[in-house]
Structure 1
Amino acid sequence: MSISAETFFLDHSAEGTLQSRIQQMVAQGILEGRFRPGERLPSSRKMAQHLGVSRITVTLAYTELVADDYMISRGRSGYFVSDNAPEPPAFPAQRADQGTVDWPRAIAQRFTPGLSVDKPADWSRFRYPFIYGQTDRTLFDSANWRLCALRALGMRDFEALTADYFDGDDPQLVEFVARQTLPRRGILANSDEILITMGAQNALWLSAQVLLNSRRRAVIEDPCYPALRNILTQSRCQLSPVQVDRDGLPPDKLPDDTDVVFTTPSHQCPTTATMPLSRRNALLEKAEADDFIVVEDDYEFEMSFLKSPSPSLKSLDQNGRVIYVGSFSKSIFPGLRLGYLVGPAPFIREARALRATVLRHPPGHIQRTVSYYLSLGHYDALVRRMSKTYHERRRVMEETLHHHDLTVAGQGTYGGSSIWLRAPSGVDTAILAEHLLADSVLVEPGAPFFASDTPPTQYLRLAYSSIPASRISEGVRLIADAIAHY
């Protein structure tokens, strides 16, 4: 029996090349049982004419399907579904509904957060995306990243690609972090003091799980990174938010029974306040006197385009009290999800064991690709390019905000990629953000960053990492107009 070409339809909204979409279309028909072993498929010419693609594209797709044993080629007779093709399940697929289970009662622990920062998946369609932490494709070095990924796929790196490290990491990446990345922040560490993580958030979760329990008290900055607050809430520890000021977290406001402090001293999240050296030393002295641990999230230290950043807390620590969290996701691209934890060997040993129970280790191919991207100098070139661009965007942003008399509540001493604004009292920036969508303006309301059940509503974060300088002035004008007509 022959399968008609009219049976096939390309999904034009699907991702991937034409060749891969044709492969998927045929394979899916076989897996669903619509095409059976021995049935002849349309010739490459007929399929190409029907789909409106080149014949070579169909031929290449068929060749891959033959290689994967979905199809066989019989000389002049054509292509047929292989006898060895995967068989569809012998029972029909059924969608299970909630049924009779009382799920609110059955769920023993809840992990859904309260207020959180909304990150629209379609942010790039907005003309004025003042949204934090997304990749600007005009800055990303896709060509060299692709070359590094291909190199990591080579036979020379076969072990790094395919090996199960169990609870270990790619030694080549760990060595680069130890010899190149950490010394730039004044940190010296051995390989047993470094753990590769699935981004900074994974590092913060591991730290919370190892250091905290229901009897211990954690201090967070207020406002702070919402995901960190959710992590600590789920850990069931005793949680104390401490309000930050223009210099970040004030050590003299910490509770006496503090066990762990989570802080962002270089670029406080979200106010971007920079903790001065005197306060950093005061925090470390208090940590030693009161016997608590400090977890330092040093995000965006690379984006210090105004002047050199202050020393990291970890570099000033003489007593092994600081756990350091770093990430490549902010500077390379957020979907990378690769970061690192640095701390005393006993702490890293426990964090490594915990990680192994959840995900063993980050994918070897990703680790080796990043290792090449770093060691070949592409990362430094990317950071320089981003810093130069961010510097110009920030200049335009500051000038425009001043022109429209908008109040800057925090903008970072050394650089960064965002500015913290305060609208007039009575303005709810969540409602403001909804109104601005009609003008293709995307902003981040500030309320989710605060720990209070009734957070202040007049703050918002404007990032300039994803918007070209040429659109900043008009976008800020639209924000100012919306505030004036609120």
Structure 2
Amino acid sequence: MLQAAMQIPPETFLIDRAVAQPLQLQLRRQIVLAVHEGRLRPGERMPSSRALAAHLGVGRITVTQAYGDLVATDYLIARGRSGYFISDRIEDLGPGPATLQEAPRFDWSSRLDGRNLAARRKDRPTDWRNYPYRFLYGQTDDRLIDHAAWRECAVRALGRRDLGALSDDQYDGDDPELVDFIIRHLLPRRGIKARAQEILLTLGAQNALWLISEILLDRGAACAIEEPGYPGLHEILTTLRANVVPVALDSDGLPPASIPDDISVVFTSPSHQCPTNRTMPRERREDLLRLAAEREIVIVEDDYEFEISFAGSTSPALKAMDRSGAVIHIGSFSKSVFPGLRLGYIVADPTFIAEARARRGMMLRHPPGHVQRTMAYFLSLGHYDRQLKRMREAFAERHKVTSLALMRHDMNRGATGKAGGSSFWLATPHGVDSDLLARELRPQGVLIEPGRPFFRAPEAGSGFFRLAYSSIAASDIDEGVRRIAELGRMLAGRD
């Protein structure tokens, strides 16, 4: 945690010589307002009177008198030769003064249509660690992360040998060592053969989906998505105002026969579908690729949670089976290393990668060089594989414990989660609305994900919810499931 005390730079303060207010009074009011607004915090050190006077172009006596008045009113504390500090008695000082002249506020509502905020999910609490029974997807158990190994790799990436990778602007380039490891060690596990010009690093799968959608759908092209499907993709397509056609899943995932004729892009997660965990059989993958070739459809394959699957081998990736080059493959390290890493990659035809690289370069150039090189070391030194093994073992145990708990508490109706991963997709107990269930569970310390965000038509998700076990200890699962079942019976009037 960062320490509270810091040196406040003189540039924090400004003097307006065009107003009639005395300079000393202006300075005092600025400091008082900044204290009450929380911009200056207890214990922080004020600039020296000499430095602040030089910056403001005023006499030193003006600053020292302002400081003296603020000490007298308990806004500042004088500490001998150490200088002046923000007082720790701010809460006792009462409300701060209003600014003398409030300028008319700019009307941003006339410039913004609100579609980005409308698409944003509001069911993901930031204080999730405070809940003892957190069945929340997308977070992880800190005990499964090899902190020491990551720290070792981060320090190594700071060495002189890697100074260029750390400090240079690579323009739109990516770390060659990380790209090389992805090509030679990760992609072959999915049956994919690729060259460096077919790889683009991204800030995770979400960034990859945004980049792909921006390029392929900015001219009104129609796309098909899985229903239910990944909420993050819904958000992107909503803000782009894309022509979206949801395709209902069956027991084998996305059915190619249900894809309309006028579709130009299909988004799918065939290896481990989000959120149902269904795996698309090889025959269906071949049918989907055949359909794509006949209609000249682009397939965007999100290789969701493949790395942490513990249920045995799956079919090769669609990209590995693709002969025409129409498949765009997305991979991510966010689930297999840790969520805050936000690092992933796109594998696609060199022509598309060149376009995507140029589009990415206009926004962020490239992911941070230090993060890329640290990840390269984490992979090449074997830490990645060891952590994956630990995560698979933990998730296999939690999957078993959760499955038994669901059976014990009669909550396994419609459960899907046989392909491994880190969650179950469930029907709500007794058909209770999932938003209501989630809301009423929070005071009991239980977090679940209601089903509405996973559907293009939100009302279709009212009877479903996702139960993830990546961030909850195995010993807490049964009690959490019991609370869900008990509250479901109560809300349904079955007690």
- What's the TM-score once normalised by structure 2's chain length? 0.80
CA distance in 2, matches of 1:407, 1:175: 44
> Is 1:25 aligned to 2:8, yes or no?
no
TM alignment of 1:31-70, pairs within 5 A: 32=12, 34-36=46-48
Q: 1:78 to 1:144 in 2, by over 3 A?
A: farther
Q: Which residue of 2 aligns with 1:371?
A: 376
Give 1:35 shift: 2.8
1:355 counterpart letter in structure 2: R
Q: Do the aligned residues in 2 keep the contact of 1:433 with 1:445 (CA within 8 Å)?
A: yes
CA distance in 2, matches of 1:230, 1:321: 24
Give 1:456 shift: 3.2
CA distance in 1, matches of 2:187, 2:101: 50
Q: Do the aligned residues in 2 keep the contact of 1:261 with 1:295 (CA within 8 Å)?
A: yes
Structure 1 runs of 4+ off > 6 angstroms?
77-81, 93-98
> CA deviation digits over 1:125-179, x for unaligned, max 9?
1111100111211111000100100111111110000010100001111111111
> Is 1:479 aligned to 2:484, yes or no?
yes
Q: Helix, strand or coil: the match of 2:6?
A: helix
> CA deviation digits over 1:36-88, x for unaligned, max 9?
1669xxxxxxxxxxxxxxxxxxxxxxxxxxxxxxxxxxxxx98789xxxxxxx
Q: Which residue of 2 aligns with 1:243?
A: 248
Q: Do the aligned residues in 1 keep the contact of 2:401 with 2:477 (CA within 8 Å)?
A: yes
CA distance in 2, matches of 1:245, 1:237: 24
TM alignment of 1:129-144, pairs within 5 A: 129-144=134-149
| The one of 380, 393, 396 aligned to 2:398 | 393
Q: Which residue of 1 aligns with 2:462?
A: 457
| The one of 416, 436, 442 aligned to 1:411 | 416
Q: Helix, strand or coil: the match of 2:171?
A: coil
Q: 1:25 to 1:338 in 2, by over 3 A?
A: same
Q: Do the aligned residues in 2 keep the contact of 1:226 with 1:448 (CA within 8 Å)?
A: yes
Range with greater deviation from structure 2 (453-462 or 126-135)? 453-462
> Is 1:190 aligned to 2:204, yes or no?
no
Q: 1:444 to 1:352 in 2, by over 3 A?
A: same
> CA deviation digits over 1:444-467, x for unaligned, max 9?
111111111533311110001011
CA distance in 2, matches of 1:269, 1:340: 19
> Is 1:361 aligned to 2:366, yes or no?
yes
> CA deviation digits over 1:295-353, x for unaligned, max 9?
00001101121211221111111111100000001111111110000000000000000
| The one of 297, 301, 317 aligned to 2:302 | 297
Give 1:290 shift: 1.2
Q: Helix, strand or coil: the match of 2:414?
A: strand
Q: Which residue of 1 aligns with 2:127?
A: 122
Q: Do the aligned residues in 2 keep the contact of 1:288 with 1:319 (CA within 8 Å)?
A: yes
1:27 counterpart letter in structure 2: Q
2:228 counterpart letter in structure 1: P
Range with greater deviation from structure 2 (110-119 or 458-467)? 110-119
Q: Which residue of 1 aligns with 2:35?
A: none
Q: Which residue of 2 aligns with 1:227?
A: 232
Give 1:94 shift: 8.0
Q: Among the aligned pairs, what percent are the same residue?
A: 49
CA distance in 2, matches of 1:375, 1:212: 37
Q: 1:445 to 1:27 in 2, by over 3 A?
A: same
Q: Helix, strand or coil: the match of 2:266?
A: strand
Q: Do the aligned residues in 1 keep the contact of 2:450 with 2:461 (CA within 8 Å)?
A: no
Give 1:115 shift: 6.7
1:35 counterpart letter in structure 2: P
CA distance in 1, matches of 2:473, 2:201: 33
CA distance in 1, matches of 2:316, 2:488: 38
1:317 counterpart letter in structure 2: D
> Is 1:446 aligned to 2:451, yes or no?
yes
CA distance in 2, matches of 1:141, 1:97: 52
Q: Helix, strand or coil: the match of 1:242?
A: strand
| The one of 251, 266, 273 aligned to 2:271 | 266
Q: Which residue of 1 aligns with 2:64?
A: none
> CA deviation digits over 1:199-229, x for unaligned, max 9?
0000011111111233311111111111101
CA distance in 2, matches of 1:166, 1:115: 31
> Is 1:201 aligned to 2:206, yes or no?
yes
> Is 1:148 aligned to 2:148, yes or no?
no
CA distance in 1, matches of 2:218, 2:414: 35
Q: 1:171 to 1:421 in 2, by over 3 A?
A: same
CA distance in 2, matches of 1:171, 1:443: 40
Q: Which residue of 2 aligns with 1:48?
A: none
Range with greater deviation from structure 2 (209-218 or 190-199)? 209-218
Q: Do the aligned residues in 1 keep the contact of 2:230 with 2:274 (CA within 8 Å)?
A: yes
Q: Do the aligned residues in 1 keep the contact of 2:310 with 2:392 (CA within 8 Å)?
A: yes
Q: Which residue of 1 aligns with 2:335?
A: 330
CA distance in 1, matches of 2:390, 2:164: 33
| The one of 421, 431, 436 aligned to 1:431 | 436
Q: Do the aligned residues in 2 keep the contact of 1:214 with 1:236 (CA within 8 Å)?
A: no
Q: Helix, strand or coil: the match of 1:414?
A: coil
Q: 1:167 to 1:247 in 2, by over 3 A?
A: same
> Is 1:256 aligned to 2:285, yes or no?
no
CA distance in 1, matches of 2:399, 2:100: 51
Q: Which residue of 1 aligns with 2:16?
A: none
Q: Helix, strand or coil: the match of 1:402?
A: helix
> Is 1:218 aligned to 2:207, yes or no?
no
Q: Which residue of 1 aligns with 2:176?
A: 171
Q: 1:267 to 1:410 in 2, by over 3 A?
A: farther
Q: Which residue of 2 aligns with 1:49?
A: none
CA distance in 1, matches of 2:426, 2:248: 17
CA distance in 1, matches of 2:467, 2:218: 36
Q: 1:219 to 1:117 in 2, by over 3 A?
A: farther
Q: Do the aligned residues in 1 keep the contact of 2:201 with 2:346 (CA within 8 Å)?
A: yes
Q: 1:38 to 1:101 in 2, by over 3 A?
A: closer
1:247 counterpart letter in structure 2: D
CA distance in 2, matches of 1:299, 1:275: 12
Q: Do the aligned residues in 2 keep the contact of 1:224 with 1:450 (CA within 8 Å)?
A: yes
Range with greater deviation from structure 2 (293-302 or 205-214)? 205-214
Q: Helix, strand or coil: the match of 2:367?
A: coil
Range with greater deviation from structure 2 (422-431 or 248-257)? 422-431
Give the length in aligned residue pairs: 418
Range with greater deviation from structure 2 (134-143 or 406-415)? 406-415
> CA deviation digits over 1:109-129, x for unaligned, max 9?
732234726221111111111
Q: Helix, strand or coil: the match of 1:221?
A: strand
| The one of 272, 283, 290 aligned to 1:278 | 283
Q: Do the aligned residues in 2 keep the contact of 1:194 with 1:340 (CA within 8 Å)?
A: yes
Give 1:235 shift: 2.3
